[in-house]
A and B are shown apart, each in its own frame.
Chain A
Amino acid sequence: MATPKEMMTTWDKIQPGAVLPSFEDPEKKIRSKFNSYNYKVADWRVEKPVFNRDLCIDCDFCWVSCPDSCFIVEEVENKRGKKQAKIVGINYNLCKGCAVCVEVCPTPIKSLLMFPEFVDNDEALKQWPKKD
């Protein structure tokens, strides 16, 4: 069933009203065990997107289109000192392998490509298509 063993409790231990706190420590923004951020949907996938940092132009089309909030972003400063996002990876716990990100990636050789789940990411990067 959907609930992992360690989260199973009994009727006398559940919160009245089935109310779920998003954060364990709201001040420090530490998400609670009830936050689906800590749930895994990786097993929904047969193929996974692999990200190629070398080709990426940080257009963030993938970030804005991903329905599962998978793209891991680092805030950096551009040359003019303005903050901007840099994509640094994919959260594979949350990725369902829909391939929307690959579809919207605009670089001439895609910076995101789908690979079978069992292919290791380093291996995938080696197999990346080259410019002809």
Chain B
Amino acid sequence: MAERYELKQKEVWDGNMAASHALRQAQVDVVAAYPITPSTPIVQNYAQFLADGYVDGEFVMVESEHSAMSACVGASAAGGRVATATSSQGYALMVEVLYQASGMRLPIVMTVVNRALASPLNIHGDHGDLYLGRDAGWIHLIANNPQEAYDMTLCAFKIAENEKVRLPVTTNQDGFLVSHTAQVVEPLDDDTAYKFIGDYKAMNPMLDTKNPQTYGAQTEEEWHFEFKASQHKALMESPAVIDEVFAEFEKLTGRKYNRVETYKLDDADVALVVMGSAYETAMVAVDKAREEGIKAGLIMPRSFRPFPYNEIAEKLKNVKAVAALDRSAPMGAMGALYNEVSGALAANGQSSIMTNYIYGLGGRDTTAQHILEVIKETEKNAKAGKRVTDLQGFINLRGPKLSFN
């Protein structure tokens, strides 16, 4: 048996340490991982836990992220709890296997410390990696600070392993801004955390060799569509389980999470859609805007996949103008959040005026002041009753104004 780790009621942890402790408390059977900035400390912390006797599962230091996710697939199909962590280029190298993991319905949990994708190389935070895995068939949860990184990781196991779900889950946190920023985190003690997640429930484990199973069969045109459709359905129906898990977590900790988080949205004319650490910056901006008499609010999908389109549309019902802030290079289109939210509104016959802002690429600072300016621009649309600002703008980009219409 692994040693119990004595934790204080309040710890000062960065996002990486928070995620590491959540993995340890989940008593993961196999962690297979490969280091990459900014998620490297997770791998290192876990190695140290192992070295100090706090982990009795296997820790496989593979030779690449492709092999990390492949070993996770092998381990998960074998029949036990599996987790890993990565960022950026590592995530990109895993992409092929992300689809294979989800297609086999393996409940792997991965902490993604979000970071920009090269080229040009950059080690800082943006959502390029998260967006790359958008269609990979995983559930993607967002954590905006170390406490949330800890909480979401605990919840991730419970969601992934639920027999109605059986899908892999990522928990995302912004590189450096969350992963390397120490804040107060209130952890659960080891026993309570493990009890919350529960024992791993096996489904068709390969290691039950008396009842052999074949994983990864070829399905051509006769079957492939049916399997992808049934997997999609599992994702589309996972909100019920996510809500259930969040409710149970609230009972245990008093910390309430929602698939759609909002801030001062109830009476808002103007809303920003923001995901990740910038959400907290935007809260400050909203407060300032309100001091100046602008009725501004915020909205964020905590589960980026499954995307809560109906809930978002419902919450934006009375909002006049919405700006979606995407932290990823859109490369020839509007940003993902813009597209998802616009689609959600259109589907419900709503016609808030939509605009898109690109911000924070490669770790570029986005301050409350920057966001306040966005709110003010968006308010112009709300007031005019039509779009009078550019369709897509860039925040804190050096040089002449760049925008698209």
Q: Does B210 contact A (CB under 8 A)?
A: yes
Chain B, residue nearest A2 (CB): B222
Q: Nearest Cβ distance between residue B197 and chain A, in whole angstroms?
A: 21
Chain B 79-118 interface 0/1 with A at a Cβ cutoff of 8 Å (1 = within): 0000000000000000000000001111000000000000
Chain A 1-37 interface 0/1 with B at a Cβ cutoff of 8 Å (1 = within): 1110000111110101111111100110000001000
In the complex, A10 Cα to B229 Cα: how many Å? 10
**Interface size on B (CB < 8 Å)?**
27
Measured between beta carbons, the chain B residues less than 8 angstroms from A26 are: 210-212
Measured between beta carbons, the chain A residues less than 8 angstroms from B222 are: 1-3, 8
Measured between beta carbons, the chain A residues less than 8 angstroms from B230 are: 11-12, 14, 16
Of B166, B210, B220, the residue contacting A17 (CB under 8 A) is B166
User: Which of the listed residues B203, B210, B223, B229 has the most CB atoms from chain A within 10 Å of its own CB?
Assistant: B223
Of A2, A11, A20, the residue contacting B229 (CB under 8 A) is A11
Dominant secondary structure of chain B at its interface with chain A: loop
Contact A19 B104 (CB under 8 A): yes
Chain B, residue nearest A10 (CB): B226
Measured between beta carbons, the chain B residues less than 8 angstroms from A2 are: 220, 222
Q: Does B119 contact A (CB under 8 A)?
A: no
Contact B226 A22 (CB under 8 A): no
Given contacts A16-B105, A17-B166, contact A22 B213 (CB under 8 A): yes
Q: Does B9 contact A (CB under 8 A)?
A: no
**Interface size on A (CB < 8 Å)?**
20
In the complex, A23 Cα to B210 Cα: how many Å? 9
Chain A, residue nearest B219 (CB): A18
Q: Nearest Cβ distance between residue B181 and chain A, in whole angstroms?
A: 38
Of A12, A17, A21, A23, the residue contacting B105 (CB under 8 A) is A17
Measured between beta carbons, the chain B residues less than 8 angstroms from A14 are: 223, 226-227, 230
Given contacts A3-B223, A11-B226, A11-B229, contact A21 B211 (CB under 8 A): yes
Contact B105 A22 (CB under 8 A): no
Given contacts A2-B222, A11-B226, contact A22 B104 (CB under 8 A): no
Measured between beta carbons, the chain A residues less than 8 angstroms from B104 are: 17-19
Q: Does B1 contact A (CB under 8 A)?
A: no
In the complex, A3 Cα to B223 Cα: how many Å? 9
Chain B 209-225 interface 0/1 with A at a Cβ cutoff of 8 Å (1 = within): 01111111101101101
In the complex, A12 Cα to B237 Cα: how many Å? 13
Contact A21 B204 (CB under 8 A): yes
Measured between beta carbons, the chain A residues less than 8 angstroms from B225 are: 11
In the complex, A3 Cα to B226 Cα: how many Å? 14
In the complex, A11 Cα to B230 Cα: how many Å? 6
Measured between beta carbons, the chain A residues less than 8 angstroms from B103 are: 17-18
Chain B positions within 8 Å of A, measured between CB atoms, are 103-106, 166, 203-204, 210-217, 219-220, 222-223, 225-227, 229-231, 233-234
- Give 11 new A-B contacts, CB below 8 A, not counting A14-B223, A14-B227, A17-B106: A8-B222, A9-B226, A11-B227, A16-B166, A16-B234, A18-B219, A21-B211, A22-B211, A22-B213, A26-B211, A26-B212
Chain A positions within 8 Å of B, measured between CB atoms, are 1-3, 8-12, 14, 16-23, 26-27, 34
Would you mind naming 6 contact pairs between A and B with Cβ atoms under 8 Å apart? A1-B222, A3-B223, A11-B227, A16-B230, A16-B234, A17-B105
